[in-house]
């Protein structure tokens, strides 16, 4: 019975030109062509998209939550990477 289950795919949709594709959910499909069509039928019924990416779920590699501190905390103290860190005189425009 389980043999007939189609693989799982992750779906990413660009909601309008100029925006990034964003993960919207997943679905089952036998192949990539079908996955794109299913994504169209499932996730864009209300004009939610202009472009679709699908990737088979097993191909997504994710960071490990246990590494979260090591990965993401060091960036906490690098406020100098953000433009608001710098004082710009009021008289200077367009910066």
Partner 1 sequence: MQITPSDASALDTYSAEVRHQLFHYVLQLADTSLILGHRLSEWCGHGPVLEQDLAMANIGLDLLGETRSLYQYAAELEGRGQTEDDLAFLRSATEYRNPLLVEQPNGDFAATITRQFLFDNFHYHCLRQLLTSPDTRLAGIAEKAVKEAAYHLKWSSEWVIRLGDGTEESRQRLEKALAHLWRYSGELTTPTANEKALQSAGLIPDYAALLPQMEAHLAHVFSEATVPLPQGVFMMTGGKEGRHTEHLGYILAELQYMQRTYPGLTW
Partner 2 sequence: METVEINLEEQFQARIDADIRIEPKDWMPDAYRKTLIRQISQHAHSELVGMLPEGNWITRAPSLKRKSILLSKVQDEAGHGLYLYSAAETLGTTRDQMLADLHSGKAKYSSIFNYPTLSWADMGCVGWLVDGAAILNQVPLCRTSYGPYARAMVRVCKEESFHQRQGFEIMQTLCAGAPVQKEMAQEALNRWWWPTLMMFGPKDADSPNTAQSMNWRIKRFTNDELRQKFVDMMVPQAEFLGLTVPDPTVKWNEERQAYDFGEVNWEEFWNVVKGNGMCNQDRLGARVKAHEEGAWVREAALAHAKKRAQKAAA
Contact residue for partner 1 among 34, 53, 55, 56 (CB under 8 A):
34
Angle at 48 between CA 11 and CA 30, to 5 degrees: 30
Q: What is the DSSP letter of 46?
A: T
Does residue 62 bind partner 2 (CB under 8 A)?
A: yes
37 touches, from partner 1, partner 2, none (C-beta below 5 to 8 Å by class)? partner 1
Torsion from C-alpha of 61, 18, 88, 85, nearest 10 degrees: -20
The number of beta carbons lying within 10 Å of the beta carbon of residue 76 is 7
Per CB under 8 A, contacts with partner 2 among 8-27 are 8, 25-27
Does residue 65 bind partner 2 (CB under 8 A)?
A: yes
Which residue ranges make up the site for partner 2 (CB under 8 A)?
1-6, 8, 25-28, 30-31, 34, 42, 45-46, 62, 64-65
């Amino acid at each position: 019975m389980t043999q007939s289950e189609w693989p799982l795919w992750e779906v990413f949709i660009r909601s309008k030109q100029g925006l990034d594709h964003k993960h919207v959910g997943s679905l089952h499909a036998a192949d990539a062509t079908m996955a794109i069509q299913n994504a169209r039928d499932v996730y864009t019924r209300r004009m939610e998209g202009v472009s679709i990416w699908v990737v088979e779920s097993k191909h997504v590699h994710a960071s490990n939550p246990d590494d979260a501190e090591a990965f993401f905390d060091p960036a906490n103290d690098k406020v100098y990477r953000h433009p608001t860190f710098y004082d710009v005189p009021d008289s200077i425009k367009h910066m």
